Amino acid sequence: MRSILRKHQALGIRQIAVDIERHPLRDSGMVQSGAQLTRMKKGYYHKALLMWDHHGSGRDHKQAPAAVQDEIQRDLDAYTWKDKSAVIILVPELEQWIWYCESALLNHCGITNEQLQGFVDAYARKMSKSPDELKAEQPKELFEYVLRDRLKRTISPRDFEEIGSRAGIQGLMACDSFQAIVDRLRAWFPL
């Protein structure tokens, strides 16, 4: 998000100051207490965007993402964040964005499109799924396969920041969760 938000003109928003905070309990913590922690930040920020991966949130097998999103948004609204907050659940998870900006992944990894497609096709055969199904349903596992198993690289937050800095906004706009975030940012911070 940090590297994406630096592209404010491409996003169609004015430049904004941003703090990005991670919940210590990660995705499940956001569902359990994200709204309450945001409540404590009310005097410090003008807007709040809560986002997390649906997969691994503790609700991924219990509730539809829209139901969880509505529940957390109601909590935020009750804590006086109404019209100043948004909840976006990444379905299934953030790594899905990577597959909407494959050229950024290619550049980051220093590989060709043919190499990447070979890795993706091999994993698809192994999992008995199509490449498109993997990118939509198991984007994290596919990303880990490419970086860890095929390229023998450890994955760090720096990888995401660098891929994000190389990613084209137009390609990412095809992803529903990314589009939802951009729509909200454009409403809050128009040019």
Distance of CA 131 to the CA centre of its chain: 20
What is the model's pLDDT at position 78? 94
Average pLDDT, the chain: 95
Q: Say if CB 190 and CB 31 are below 8 A apart.
A: no
The confidence band for 7, taking pLDDT boundaries of 50, 70 and 90, is very high
8-45 pLDDT tens trace: 999 999 999 999 999 999 999 999 999 999 999 988 99
142-161 pLDDT tens trace: 999 999 999 999 999 999 99
- Residues with Cβ within 8 Å of 88's Cβ and at least 6 positions away in sequence, in order, are 49, 50, 51, 69, 177, 180, 181, 184
What is the model's pLDDT at position 92? 96
CA distance 20 to 70: 22
What is the model's pLDDT at position 107? 97
8's enclosing H/E stretch is: helix 8-11
What is the model's pLDDT at position 181? 97
CA distance 92 to 83: 26
What is the model's pLDDT at position 185? 97
